[in-house]
Structure 1
Amino acid sequence: MRTDPLSRLARPRRWPAVGAVLLLLAPVVLAHPGDRLAALLPALTAALAAAVALLPWPLGRVTLTAAAGAVAAASLLLDLGYPGPYRLPAFWLPFEWLALLGVLFRAVRRLPDRWAGPIGGAVALAAVALPLRFALRTPHGGAAGPVVAVLFSLLPVLGVAGAGLYLRVLDARRERAVDRARREQRLEVARGLHDFVAHEVTGIVLEAQAGQLPGQEPVETAALLRRLEEAGLRALDSMDEMVGALREEQATAGTTRRVGLADLPELVARFGTTGGPRATVDLAPEAVGLLAAEAQATAYAVVLEALTNIRRHAPQATAVTVRVAPEPDGRAVRVTVGDTGGPATRRPRLRRRPGAGGTGLAGLAARATAHGGTLTSGPLGPSGWQVSCTLPGR
């Protein structure tokens, strides 16, 4: 379906530009017949500047960069080669000057970085030099007139350029803030997927592997299926919470679930009943009250990550111990997860891979550092491995 060009100009946002162009061109017919050609030139440049200042851009294939450059070039060329009487441009001069200020504001604020300086400078030069079109052609005007005209034009140009630049900086800050919020939200989803969903899926895989062993009793099979169902439901709950967080206008801070040190016994017990090694937890009651809610969520995530790594990287581990206790000075809490893995295990290190998304031990180390704590991991004895996290109290 083809669109009539006149219908495009009739859109509501374009009516002010159309009206301004017609009003600026109409006085040409009132000029003396011998001066109409000379009058048409300043009328056209003023109408072009007004159209660029008022029209929404881009307009089809024409961008604001090209339009603003054309306005500056047309105005400067007319300043250099105007052929008519010196009084004739005086009628259109104020209208063109105001339109050039509008174009300058839009150019400084909206043009791409590579074009904002050159095009904005050209438009500013055209606005400053515009009064010279009249002042330099005034008979017996002397040098004072052009100097005063340039100074009179320069101050508003600097003010408009400064306002456009200020708003451009504000726009850039707002865009960076939006990008940062989106990145934090993506990292939040990645942490939720890694910390909760991957943990539950790993447990389901181990349960399914255990169910394939021969000699399973009906009671054991029923318990296995019940644990599989519970793990699947927990994974679905985590997915629902993450999808709900994505639908909110602002991403929530911390982990997807509000968990803490008090939830560690249930986590360790579930780890020991889903095909993993024997696991015990030693949680000092006084440690729970020392950490803020965000720090407790980080400690829980450290334990969860360590248990998940044991399942994936140390299947031959026979015992796992989780200890949470205050430091001797009572100002911090140390969380340790140790296991009796084996000499042939390959354990994850505190390395941040490009594009890792803030997950794993490297991401948890960054979270612990943000709370003023530390996270380390390394061998434990001749055949084990330990992850240790220290977090300061409130």
Structure 2
Amino acid sequence: MLVPALLAPPSAAPLAVVAALTLAAALWVWPVGRVSLGWAAGGAALLSLAVDAGYFGPPGLVILWYPCETLALLVLLERAVRHVPHPKVAFIAPLTGAAAVLLPLRFTLHAPTTGLKESVAGALFALFPVALAAGIGLYLRALDNRRAHAVALARREQRLEVARDLHAFVAHEVTGIVLEAQAAQLVDEADPEESRALLRRIEQAGLRALDSMDQMVTTLREAERRKWGEPPPTRLYGLADLPELVDRFASMATAEVALSLEDGLAGALSQEAEDTAYRVVLEALTNVRRHAPGAGRVEVFAGRTADRAVEVRVADDAGPAAPAGPRQGGGTGLAGLDERVGALGGTLNAGPHGPGWRVRCLLPAPAGH
């Protein structure tokens, strides 16, 4: 860019220097130190406009650097429209665009055969590529914003999923630990076997809670390393896991626990729907521990309805006289699960039923199941 200026008259030096600086600004990776892309684009545009106003050399010299400077200004305009943040872009983009539109005047105002008419025509002709560069920048900026918004929503959903998992799994185990600790206070000190059994159950519940927390932390860390759009690697449970869940609950409960699981039901739903059904049972059993410690019997049912939907329900018999705490629809966990069940086309209801409380979930089975 600068070599031709060595062979040209001294008046060509500003043309060469400004063209070289503009091209460097268009190709450089910004920011550099405290100099951002906005400052680089604005400075290059101001230098170009200054040369337009102050150049009075031979008009033929302009042609040597005109194409490169025009292209550099268009690239700068596209980059500025795409990357310069608000509100600075509202000043930088028009300034850079004006420098590209007015660049033909550097030749038409000084050539002996051109005048005002040619200057206006040159500016109008330059307006088309300027508008195209600005449009490309706006389109790419919109894509970037949409992608950033989608990534932010995905990360938010992942964090909410982790929060739901912590509430569902860790709260379930911690509630059991609290109840076992309360029971330990009533154990006769002369019965060491019962004390050891209680401590063993507390230890196992604590280890399961720690495992759940470790899994959630691992999920968060892996989410940062994965490419956007990949699903989080959280473990999905299903109807086949209900016996193990109910057995775990029964080992820490004083109530009689009964599970009725229809044969062949596992796999009748999608993986996400089965995981949702499992979480409904987990949340309902956790709420029984919290709010109905006096329940004498807890029934867990999973089977098909007459219209082939899958029904999951958990019911207890803790009557009004039982020392149960406030029961506002099963807690905030069921409120979140209600949205999840609704998104799958199902329904979730929780409320008084007979002498106690019941949580009932209906999930439609895919066609052919």
Flag whether TM exceeds 0.5 (same fold).
yes
Cα distance, 1:84 vs structure 2: 4.0
Q: Which residue of 2 aligns with 1:230?
A: 204
Q: Judging changes above 3 Å, is the alpha-carbon distance between structure 1 residues 239 and 295 closer, same or farther for their aligned structure 2 residues?
A: same
Amino acid at match of 2:198: L
Q: Which residue of 2 aligns with 1:129?
A: 102
Q: Which residue of 1 aligns with 2:343?
A: 370
RMSD after superposition: 2.9
State how far apart, in whole Å, the 2-side matches of 1:341 and 1:239 are: 31
- After superposition, give the CA deviation of every residue in 1:125-145 in whole Å (9 maximum; x if it has no partner): 211210112112222424553
Contact 1:259 1:300 in 2 (8 A): yes
Cα distance, 1:204 vs structure 2: 1.6
Structure 2 residue 92 is matched with structure 1 residue 119: yes
Q: How does 1:318-333 map to 2 (within 5 A)?
A: 318-330=296-308, 332-333=309-310
**Is the deviation greater in 251-260 or in 138-147?**
251-260
Amino acid at match of 1:265: P
Cα distance, 1:85 vs structure 2: 4.4
What is the number of equivalent residue pairs in this alignment?
Answer: 358
Q: Which residue of 1 aligns with 2:132?
A: 159
Contact 1:86 1:134 in 2 (8 A): yes
Q: Which residue of 2 aligns with 1:307?
A: 285
State how far apart, in whole Å, the 2-side matches of 1:270 and 1:156 are: 70
For structure 1, the residue ranges without an aligned partner over 5 or more in a row are 1-22, 353-359
State how far apart, in whole Å, the 2-side matches of 1:215 and 1:116 are: 76
- After superposition, give the CA deviation of every residue in 1:35-79 in whole Å (9 maximum; x if it has no partner): x3x544434432331232122211221211122122223323433
Q: Which residue of 2 aligns with 1:215?
A: 188
Contact 1:254 1:294 in 2 (8 A): no
Structure 2 residue 34 is matched with structure 1 residue 54: no
Contact 1:373 1:390 in 2 (8 A): yes
Q: Secondary structure at the match of 2:87?
A: helix
State how far apart, in whole Å, the 2-side matches of 1:213 and 1:160 are: 78
Q: Which residue of 1 aligns with 2:238?
A: 260
Cα distance, 1:213 vs structure 2: 1.0
Contact 2:318 2:356 in 1 (8 A): yes
State how far apart, in whole Å, the 2-side matches of 1:253 and 1:388 are: 29
Cα distance, 1:274 vs structure 2: 0.7
Q: Which residue of 2 aligns with 1:97?
A: 70
State how far apart, in whole Å, the 1-side matches of 2:271 and 2:90 are: 49
Q: How does 1:278-293 map to 2 (within 5 A)?
A: 278-285=256-263, 287-293=265-271
Amino acid at match of 1:335: V
Cα distance, 1:83 vs structure 2: 4.2
Q: Which residue of 2 aligns with 1:390?
A: 362
Q: Judging changes above 3 Å, is the alpha-carbon distance between structure 1 residues 55 and 263 closer, same or farther for their aligned structure 2 residues?
A: closer
Q: Which residue of 1 aligns with 2:171?
A: 198
- After superposition, give the CA deviation of every residue in 1:314-345 in whole Å (9 maximum; x if it has no partner): 33333322222322222x12212222335463
- After superposition, give the CA deviation of every residue in 1:150-191 in whole Å (9 maximum; x if it has no partner): 344233333333333333333333323332332233223222
Q: Secondary structure at the match of 1:92?
A: helix
Contact 1:191 1:255 in 2 (8 A): no
Amino acid at match of 2:22: A
Q: Judging changes above 3 Å, is the alpha-carbon distance between structure 1 residues 308 and 255 closer, same or farther for their aligned structure 2 residues?
A: farther
Q: Which residue of 2 aligns with 1:355?
A: none
Contact 1:104 1:120 in 2 (8 A): yes
State how far apart, in whole Å, the 2-side matches of 1:306 and 1:240 are: 24
Amino acid at match of 1:183: R
- After superposition, give the CA deviation of every residue in 1:258-306 in whole Å (9 maximum; x if it has no partner): 3222322332232122145332222232544532232111111001011
- After superposition, give the CA deviation of every residue in 1:95-129 in whole Å (9 maximum; x if it has no partner): 32122122112212221143334422321221121
Q: Which residue of 2 aligns with 1:181?
A: 154
Q: Judging changes above 3 Å, is the alpha-carbon distance between structure 1 residues 350 and 316 closer, same or farther for their aligned structure 2 residues?
A: closer
Q: Which residue of 2 aligns with 1:241?
A: 215
State how far apart, in whole Å, the 1-side matches of 2:165 and 2:67 are: 61
Q: Which residue of 2 aligns with 1:295?
A: 273
Q: Which residue of 1 aligns with 2:327?
A: 347
State how far apart, in whole Å, the 2-side matches of 1:231 and 1:252 are: 32
Q: Judging changes above 3 Å, is the alpha-carbon distance between structure 1 residues 73 and 319 closer, same or farther for their aligned structure 2 residues?
A: same
Amino acid at match of 2:152: D
For structure 2, the residue ranges without an aligned partner over 5 or more in a row are none
- After superposition, give the CA deviation of every residue in 1:214-233 in whole Å (9 maximum; x if it has no partner): 41522222322332232233
Aligned-pair identity (%): 54
State how far apart, in whole Å, the 1-side matches of 2:137 and 2:304 are: 56
**Is the deviation greater in 372-381 or in 235-244?**
235-244
Q: Which residue of 2 aligns with 1:9?
A: none
